[in-house]
Structure 1
Amino acid sequence: MESQYKRLTDSQWEVVSQSLPIERKRVHSLRVIVDAIFYVLRVGCQWRNLPRESFPKWELVYYYFRKWQSDGTLESLNFSLNIKERARRGKEASPRLLSVDSQSVKVAPFVSEETGVDGNKKVNGRKRHVITDTLGLVWGVVVHSANKADGAMADRVVAPLRGYLHRMEKILADAAYEQMFMAWVGQNLLGVDVEISSKPPGTQGFVPVKWRWVTERAFGMFNFFRRLDKDHEKTPESAQSWVLWHNCQVILNRLT
């Protein structure tokens, strides 16, 4: 894990550029745009406080952030980087075993869209609902209000992966997913099982559960990126994008 923000190296940009439309000539290189997005992710500054001496106008950077969020470019970049990292670790491109879980986080002031209270964790805010493989790589994310049940929302995380992760055989989850999500998987994902695995009864605090602990580690790594210390985003869609940008930056640091 890098302890501070660093600009993209030549080898990192070569990897990123394979998923971006770099053919057309522009006033500002897309490399600088990606650098600016990673800067906001790591430092956590407001868009308007993006340093002008180092990056283009914040409006331009924000334009590309929203454009790549809406046209699928970010998802494509995240998907390709996941495959490269799995190949580097000697894994098949498509994982067989995945883990789904959620993290409840507080929201910043003036954030009101899609918020609620998680009565179990006593958090007023949103949930980051992610699905990871056994390496902790994020393959899907949905951000929603914290008062919505995990089991009722997990299908929104997994459904977009149908047709892409053809080797998927098992999804690990905790007891919150035992009813609604398990029933949805049985009806919609032929040949995929849901395995409920929770920490032993009577234990206190964090207890690592085999394979599911990597998802908890992914949540913990969010704390190293100031934009993710809580949910600062007006819309849940932007919050989802930052989780994917985080996964991309972590992989780029590992690849080089």
Structure 2
Amino acid sequence: MQSKYNRLTTQQWEYMELFLPKKTRGHYKLRDIVDAILWQLRTGTQWRNLPDSFPKWQSVYYYFRKWQKDGTQERLNIELNKMERNRQGKEPTPSLLSIDSQSIKSGPFTSMSKGVDGNKKVNGRKRHVITDTLGLVWGVVVGAANEADGVVANKVVEPLLGYLDRMEKIVADHAYKTIFKRWAEENVIGLEVKISSTPPSTKGFVPLKWRWVTERTFGIFNFFRRLDKDYEKTKESQESWVLWQNCQIILNRIR
């Protein structure tokens, strides 16, 4: 993991440029806009404190929101995932995935979509994330921390059905064994939900096959200041930052 944010290299930008719009509003370069977004992801500072070496914060925020709303961010994440899987000798899309959630505390100005997770004793939001066996994020839904995992899981999986044609099995813990498993059996032909949980008598962290990869992804979030706590007014912005983090991890592997 990099100790500080470094600007995009030419090779990294060439990969990103393939999947981003060709034009920008105003005179700013698209590369500088993306650099500013990734800098925000790493440092977690307020938009208005963006250094003068980057474009004006209003322009950067404009593209951050625009790409979030028009699907550009999601398409970028999908294509970079496919590229990374090809690089590691795998099929472009996964057949096995793991789904889990992470409750996080909210910042002082966060009021929408917020609740208390009674099990984790966390007042804030919950990130529902699905990853492949490499730990790459394919889907994320953010909601109040008191929302049950099994109830939200179908919202994470349903958007993937259009382009993950190889998806055969999803590994999950016992929180998904009723509502979500029943939804998958009734709505998705050939999709198996395998419940894998730590025995009740076990103490401490026990890595479970494939599910530990998602837990590792949650751990990596902590290296990005924008994700170690939820500072966003909207849950959609938090979802977008999770995808930007996944893109940044993939770009860091490009040499």
TM-score range, shorter chain: over 0.9
* Inter-CA distance 47–24: structure 2 relative to 1 (3 Å threshold): closer
Partner of 2:161: 162
What fraction of aligned residue pairs are identical, expressed as a percent?
66
Q: C-alpha displacement at 1:204, in angstroms?
A: 1.7
Q: CA deviation at 1:199?
A: 1.4
What pairs up with 1:1-256 in 2 under 5 angstroms?
1-23=1-23, 26-52=26-52, 54-256=53-255
What residue identity is the alignment partner of 2:100? D
> Aligned partners of 2:225 and 2:98: how far apart in 1?
25
Task: Say which SS state the counterpart of residue 226 (structure 2) adopts.
Answer: helix
Question: What is the CA-CA distance between 1:23 and the residue it aligns to?
Answer: 4.9
C-alpha spacing 1:163/1:86, structure 2 compared with 1 (3 Å): same
After superposition, what is the alpha-carbon deviation per residue over 1:36-79, rounded to whole angstroms, capped at 9, x for unaligned? 00000001100000001x10110000000000000000000000
Structure 2 unaligned regions, length at least 5: none
Give, in angstroms, the shift of residue 26 of structure 1: 4.8
In 1, the alpha carbon distance for the partners of 2:42 and 2:31 equals: 17
In structure 2, distance between residues paired with 1:25 and 1:124? 39
RMSD of equivalent CA atoms: 1.0
Q: 1:198 to 1:36 in 2, by over 3 A?
A: same
Q: Deviations over 1:89-144 (max 9, x none)?
A: 10001100000000000000020000000001100000000000000000000000
In structure 2, the CA distance between the partners of 1:25 and 1:67, relative to structure 1 (3 Å rule), is closer
What's the CA shift string for 1:230-255, capped at 9, x where partnerless? Answer: 00000000000000000000000012
TM norm structure 1: 0.98
Distance in structure 2 (CA, Å) of the matches to 1:229 and 1:205: 22
Deviates more, 1:3-12 or 1:23-32: 23-32
Residue identity matched to 2:2: E
Shift of 1:3: 1.5
Q: Distance in 2 between matches of 1:107 and 1:25?
A: 33
